[in-house]
Structure 1
């Protein structure tokens, strides 16, 4: 099936969303019991961590950890936002830099000014968007970013989105209570799909659509460690307690170029595999054998492919044993844990 489809359904009682591109599962979101990234708390400072410059906080959903703390005393209340999922047994990662993000607009408290996505080059369109923002957005100490999907979007839809995010920011920032509380929930899978999957697509919302559109079969493939690559090569993606191990194999190809071909195919497939599996943290690639002269081409391909992925990933580099290391934000929970 050609084209893009967004399927909104439920999986074993959990809200879920699937993005299909040309008949292949490109992304999958599913609700979790843990607090979703984007959740905003009024938290209470608990105890500092000497040597790390951080502070443990108390929240309604358990302990959180805030890095780079200055001038914060135990017992003090503050607003924080969840930035990702915690490893088992660890505190929630949070930040004091709040963002109120929607499909068209991002409201940025403490960072005043109106900014248009740099990917929008047309000057007439930028002028139109600035006019909408100035007419709609009341912020003086609060900033606004208009996202790239505003290009050509309906004026009223953009204005409504700006107003809703500005109102939410105002409600959260003006709250005067000092008790622990959840001030805003992070977006669930259906809202995230509407917010982030912005390219034109057919949207399917009928119950049971996962079965009809082959999502369940695709999930069975995602849950396997083996990921097939081009020309018969394959890789295994296997999470351990300490890291995610990725093993690249050439398959039946015995040519001199088999290693570089398999590794380049890995560079193309890896962002999708990690995204679908919901894996982050330390990632170590055990690549197929290839000459050192080909390493730069592999790194370039890997960097280009991860630039298109919306989960922050740092390319760390080569180890003395010839492995390649990545550090990826834990923006999702492992799919295997959620599907059971």
Structure 2
């Protein structure tokens, strides 16, 4: 058994577990009362420019202004630098009170606002559309050179003028008709966002990314996933509906769980989550890890604990570190 996805759809949250050989390797939780902002696109207003930090604060309607770093700021029309010329300072690119369209790439945390960029990306099933960058890219996970060249040629053929396309892993083996449909969907979405950005108040939300189930099907549910198990009938039906338009070939891999035990209990997920959240984790040899999390970093202390080795200190430390790295 290889890689599996499990979806626990509750009344207040949706949880997704990623299993590899039955072992939990990732858990994603989306709580309905907590707004997810990463991927959202806003029409905002520049509130403050900080030349000393090469950054600006942008009001996008949140409690704290969003942070825009100069490297995440596209050069707008009329501001293009000469080839090989130095990057202009941020106060030459923006002015206070200016309205700009930005996309959230990092959630607010603590006393920090969201981080935003002006190089927007719109992900589809097979492409990522970049409205402001003239570029073609191919996923590195597509390794066959002939397939890469085929997809590059199709991407160049389908590339909207002045925009960029990144070919996603799911596009491997997909024909031109399906690729064109995905391109058309993204282009139509961008046109709606542009139209919405020309009117209404500022700040304003222009585009809200989809929920966890949709994002998982769009971004992660590829040919290498053996099964997707969902424990709620409406979420199961929704997944089949999404896949019917995204990738009908994968519908047969979606299962509705009907067991008497809760899904995450049946597969041992709750126990693995509980273990993973402890700050002290024992390793099979008797060594252990201690996790301490701060705002700036997470510290991991590796201890030999009950493991004394069988030869010398150097081998004992190496064996402990190798075991810790795998964990």
* CA distance, structure 2, for counterparts of residue 167 and residue 223 of structure 1: 43
Judging changes above 3 Å, is the alpha-carbon distance between structure 1 residues 11 and 233 closer, same or farther for their aligned structure 2 residues? farther
Q: Which runs of 5+ in 1 are unaligned?
A: 270-340
TM-score by length of 2: 0.73
Judging changes above 3 Å, is the alpha-carbon distance between structure 1 residues 258 and 161 closer, same or farther for their aligned structure 2 residues? farther
The answer on 1:95 being equivalent to 2:117 is: yes
* CA distance, structure 2, for counterparts of residue 230 and residue 18 of structure 1: 23
Contact 1:133 1:162 in 2 (8 A): no
Contact 1:57 1:65 in 2 (8 A): yes
1:230 to partner: Cα distance: 4.6
The answer on 1:267 being equivalent to 2:325 is: yes
TM-score by length of 1: 0.70
- Number of residue pairs aligned between Structure 1 and Structure 2: 267
Contact 2:48 2:56 in 1 (8 A): yes
Judging changes above 3 Å, is the alpha-carbon distance between structure 1 residues 215 and 140 closer, same or farther for their aligned structure 2 residues? same
* CA distance, structure 2, for counterparts of residue 11 and residue 250 of structure 1: 41
Per-residue CA deviation, residues 178-237 of structure 1 (Å, 9 max, x unaligned), is 621111123432233221353322011222533333322222122211233353322122
SS at match of 2:106: coil
* CA distance, structure 2, for counterparts of residue 138 and residue 225 of structure 1: 49
2:227 matched residue in structure 1: 202
2:250 matched residue in structure 1: none
* CA distance, structure 2, for counterparts of residue 126 and residue 243 of structure 1: 38
1:313 matched residue in structure 2: none
2:8 matched residue in structure 1: 9
Q: Which runs of 5+ in 2 are unaligned?
A: 71-89, 233-261
Contact 1:103 1:196 in 2 (8 A): no
* CA distance, structure 1, for counterparts of residue 132 and residue 296 of structure 2: 37
Judging changes above 3 Å, is the alpha-carbon distance between structure 1 residues 171 and 117 closer, same or farther for their aligned structure 2 residues? same
> Which residue of 284, 303, 306 corresponds with 1:249?
303
Per-residue CA deviation, residues 98-119 of structure 1 (Å, 9 max, x unaligned), is 1112342111122214332344
Task: Give the 5 Å matches for 1:86-235.
Answer: 86-130=108-152, 132-133=154-155, 137=158, 139-153=160-174, 156-174=177-195, 175-177=197-199, 179-194=202-217, 195-198=219-222, 199-207=224-232, 208-235=262-289
Per-residue CA deviation, residues 14-41 of structure 1 (Å, 9 max, x unaligned), is 1221111111111111115143311111
CA RMSD of aligned residues (A): 2.5
* CA distance, structure 1, for counterparts of residue 137 and residue 295 of structure 2: 42
